[in-house]
Amino acid sequence: MRSHILASAGAAVAIAFAVPAHAAISIFNSPGSLQPAENVLVDGGTTGETVFGHTNVSNTGVSFLSLSSGVDLQALANGQARVEAIGGSLDALRFFLTSGDGFSEVEFDLHKAARDTDTVDVTFFGSFGTETRTFNLGNGNNWFSARADNGDLITAVAFDTSGSGVGDIRQVRLGGFPGSAPPVPEPATWAMMLGGFALMGAAIRRRSKVSASFG
C-alpha cells in the first residue's frame, strides 16, 4: 500500500491546522482553510483505471488514476461528484489536469475511512518538488488542501492510506490556473470595499473643508 506513492518516512502525524511543508507550498487539513475557485465535476457512470472530469467554470479536464494494482475506479455524479473504487475501498489514487498543466490551489475530501485505516500519506507534486505529509483519518469527512506560492504550481496530488482505504474522494476543488482571471469578490467583500471607499471620500472632504477655512 505504502509502495504506491512516495512517502516521507519520518513524517509526523499532522494536527488540524496548517502544516509548514516547503517554502513554496502550504498544506492544510481543516475544512474551509482554502476555497479554490472551481468545483470538479466527474463524468458520471464511467469506469476504468482512469476516470475523467472537468471543472465547472473553465471546463478544464481532470484525470483520476488508480494507484492500486488491478483496482478500477468508478465516477459517480449523483448529487456530490465523487470517485470510488469498484468492489471495495479506495486505497491509493492520483489526480491531475489532463493537459499536464498545473494549478496553485486544491481542496478535497477523503470520505469515511475503513476500520483498518487510520492514517493517509498525501503527496503534492509540482515545480517546488515533492511534498508528502501524513494525516489521521476519521470515519467521516477528512479535508485536505494546499496552496503553492511564489509562482510555483501543483501538477498532481496523490494519496495512499495505511489500510484498505476510504469510501471515496469527493468535493474536489481547484484554482489558480495560469492565465485565469482573478476570482470575483464575494458580496461581503464588495461591501467592505465600498465602505472603505466611502470612508476615504468622507476623510478627503473633511480635509478639504478644513483647508478652505484656513485659506
pLDDT for res 195: 61
Per-residue pLDDT at 178: 86
pLDDT at res. 77 = 85
Closest CA to 163 of 108, 121, 109: 121
Strand partners, 48: 73
DSSP codes joined into one string, 135-152: EE--SSEEEEEEEE-TT-
Q: Is the dihedral of CA 62, 80, 123, 105 positive or negative?
A: positive
The mean pLDDT values, 10 residues at a time, for the chain of 215 residues are 46 39 80 93 94 95 96 87 95 98 97 97 97 96 96 97 97 88 51 60 57 50
Q: Quick count: other Cβ atoms within 10 Å of Cβ 139?
A: 13
With cell 498545473, the residue in question is 102
Cβ within 8 Å of residue 8, ≥6 positions away: 121, 132, 133, 134
The structural domains of the chain, with segments of one domain joined by +, span 2-175, 185-215
The CATH class for the domain spanning 2-175 reads: mainly beta
Give the model's pLDDT for residue 110: 98
Residue 15 to residue 30: CA distance in whole angstroms: 9
